[in-house]
Amino acid sequence: MAENLPMGNPELLLELLRYPMPFGKYKGRLLRELPMSYLEWFAQKGFPPGKLGMLLQTLYEIRLNGLDYLLTELERRR
């Protein structure tokens, strides 16, 4: 799963800060604001296809590995 994530792409991290959830319970909220329980649900049920799925999976892996501080620091510098 994680081997398909483009973690070397800094633009991807910026998108996690500004990309809105397009559907569901958290429609309109930024992906960065989604609770871990929602990301865990996607991890169990399957991430959506395309860009959104890639972003959600990346955010899940970041949180799972305790790397959320990377997004916090990036957000602070913006």
Query: What pTM value is reported for the model?
Result: 0.83
Q: What is the DSSP string of 18-52?
A: HPBP-SSTTTTSBGGG--HHHHHHHHHH-PPSHHH
In the structure encoding, which two tokens stand for residue 46, read together?
């399957």
Q: What is the pLDDT of residues 19-77, one digit of tens each?
A: 999 999 999 999 999 999 999 999 999 999 999 999 999 999 999 999 998 888 888 88
Which residues face 67 on adjacent strands? none
Q: What angle do CA 18, 23, 26 make, to 5 degrees?
A: 70
Residue 74 CB contacts under 8 Å (≥ 6 apart), including other chains: 13, 14, 17
